[in-house]
Amino acid sequence: MQRIKTINQLPKVQALTVDVEDYFHVSAFEEAIDKADWKNLELRVEKNTYRLLELFESKQAKCTFFTLGWVAQRCPNLIKTIVDQGHELASHGFAHQRATEMTPAQFIADVSQSKQILEDASGQAIIGYRAPSFSFNDSNTWVYQTLTELGFEYSSSTYPIEHDLYGVPNWPRFKYQRDEGIIEIPVPTVRKNDRNTGIGGGGYFRLYPYWLSKRRIDNYLNTEKQPYSFYFHPWEIDPDQPRIAGASVKSRLRHYLNLSRMEGKIVRLLEDYQWDTMKSVYLNK
């Protein structure tokens, strides 16, 4: 009798996300750059995001763009292009302030302002939110009730790893529905020896060789049988961006590491997997 090999069906389409912020918005530089000076710095996020749109179109990839309201105010044509090309627009807050550093009133004001700007610019309802620096943790779970009341359907604001700037290692690793009614979609991790390692993109993806990142993604898909989501930023494909004086050695190392290699890695990632939006992959919308 012929033996039939059973092949497990893995999630075929993964979720691609971009956090649309500029090089001077990042939390690592917040001590070196005054927010009042943002308007005087060279704006590079528009050009870099258009480059990403070109790459995504060439590889037939769709993406969720978690966009700062601050950026949307200054680049309305970019917002129109994102939605016209069939991508999902979502909120990254207004001014890249971590949720852990805001009062409930400040959080409501920031997120409401961002949502209104994005909806006005796009003509679409905004249902997704990502907190700057994945800044949801045990100290501010009230944020979920706020997001629900503001009409959001999902959040992707937690990273279940140990990290000096963020991380909730004991929180769920996979999509789940909160008691408040909103869905939380954590950044993917692999688990070994009771420890989670980040595989969702960003600095980890720039640090490791592509073959290692791909092996970890494939292991996640084979082992967990869960959809995978990837995140990065427009400034990560921009090796010529201005260098920030006054930033710590650690911050400079994290931010500028392997910028010249990132676009090539992204191209390989787009070729090796199929990509769609968060709402399509996780909400079936």
Judged against a pLDDT cut of 60, whether residue 272 lies above it is answered with yes
| CA separation for the pair 70, 57 (Å, rounded) | 25
- Residue 3: the pLDDT is 34
Per DSSP, the three-state class of 196 is strand
Residue pair 186/226 in contact by the 8 Å Cβ criterion: no
| Sign (positive or negative) of CA dihedral 83, 87, 88, 89 | negative
pTM over 0.85, yes/no:
yes
| CA separation for the pair 94, 102 (Å, rounded) | 12
Residue pair 162/193 in contact by the 8 Å Cβ criterion: no
For the ranges 78-87, 201-210, 244-253, the maximum mean pLDDT occurs at 78-87
Per DSSP, the three-state class of 37 is helix
Provide the pLDDT confidence category of residue 9 given band limits of 50, 70 and 90.
low
> Of 24, 12, 43, 166, nearest to 98 (Cα)?
166
Provide the pLDDT confidence category of residue 169 given band limits of 50, 70 and 90.
confident
Q: pLDDT of 13-57, one tens digit each?
A: 999 999 999 999 998 888 889 999 999 999 999 999 999 999 999
CB atoms under 10 Å from CB of 79, counted, come to 24
Could you tell me the domains of the chain? 13-31+40-283 (3.20.20.370)
- Residue 163: the pLDDT is 64
Q: Are strands 189-192 and 128-129 parallel, antiparallel or unpaired?
A: unpaired
Give, rounded to a whole angstrom, the gap between the first and last alpha carbons of the chain: 44
| CA separation for the pair 65, 31 (Å, rounded) | 26
Q: pLDDT of 54-76, one tens digit each?
A: 999 999 999 999 999 999 999 99
Average pLDDT, stretch 189-212? Answer: 90
Average pLDDT, stretch 75-102? Answer: 97
- Residue 64: the pLDDT is 98
- Report the percent of the chain where pLDDT is more than 70: 94
**Which residues, 6 or more positions from 110, have their beta carbon under 8 angstroms from its beta carbon?**
93, 94, 95, 97, 102
Provide the pLDDT confidence category of residue 246 given band limits of 50, 70 and 90.
confident
Q: Are strands 183-184 and 176-177 parallel, antiparallel or unpaired?
A: antiparallel
Q: pLDDT of 128-142, one tens digit each?
A: 999 999 999 999 999
Provide the pLDDT confidence category of residue 1 given band limits of 50, 70 and 90.
very low
18: left (phi over 0), alpha (psi -120 to 50) or beta: beta
Structure tokens that stand for 195 in this block = 């420890």
Structure tokens that stand for 179 in this block = 């008691």
What integer best gives the mean pLDDT of the chain?
Answer: 92
| CA separation for the pair 87, 91 (Å, rounded) | 13
Provide the pLDDT confidence category of residue 193 given band limits of 50, 70 and 90.
confident
Average pLDDT, stretch 88-99? Answer: 97
Structure tokens that stand for 110 in this block = 């920031």
| CA separation for the pair 45, 81 (Å, rounded) | 14
Judged against a pLDDT cut of 80, whether residue 207 lies above it is answered with yes
